[in-house]
């Protein structure tokens, strides 16, 4: 599918996932894979791991995940490789700021020593 960039700004863009992923054991960070574009709010997804934004503007990136939680977990939003927001112990994380055409948005996760599996989720980029 070819997605044209928005004219004069940033449109809502969203990806979802429905595959199981277990972050590295013992507190290491792992890049959460399995993202696919939501046809209602299309976004370019590179190799199932990074959302590649189309357009420029201010936006809020919101992430929510579902899964099995038997130990501590931390979620992190990274934009172009830089961590912009983290959330420990929860299932959501968000960040607001300025984004540019081609920016790469990723979700990273870590866990304690056992029992964290992410089974579903979404990343939503909403213009503000």
The CATH number of the domain holding residue 46 is 2.60.120.40
Say how far residue 6 (Cα) sits from the centre of its chain: 21
Total number of domains constituting the chain: 1
Mean pLDDT over all residues of the chain?
A: 91
Q: Does some domain include residue 77?
A: yes
Whether residue 5 lies inside any domain: the answer is: no
Contact status, residue 57 vs residue 114, Cβ threshold 8 Å: no
pTM of the model: 0.91
**Does 89 map to a domain?**
yes
Decide: 101 and 15 in contact? Cβ < 8 Å: no
Instruction: Tell me the pLDDT tens digit for each residue of 112-125.
Output: 777 789 999 999 99
For residue 4, the 8-state DSSP code is: P
Domain extent, residue 59, equals 13-127
């Amino acid at each position: 599918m070819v997605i044209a960039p928005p004219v004069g700004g940033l449109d809502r863009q969203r990806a979802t996932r429905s595959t199981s992923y277990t972050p590295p054991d013992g507190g290491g960070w792992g890049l959460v894979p399995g993202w696919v574009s939501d046809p209602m709010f299309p976004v370019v997804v590179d190799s199932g791991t990074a959302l590649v934004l189309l357009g420029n503007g201010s936006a809020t990136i919101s992430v929510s995940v579902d899964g099995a939680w038997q130990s501590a977990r931390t979620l992190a939003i990274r934009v172009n490789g830089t961590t912009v927001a983290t959330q420990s112990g929860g299932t959501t994380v968000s960040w607001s700021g300025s984004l540019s055409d081609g920016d790469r948005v990723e979700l990273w996760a870590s866990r304690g020593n056992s029992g964290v599996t992410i089974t579903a989720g979404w990343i939503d980029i909403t213009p503000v």
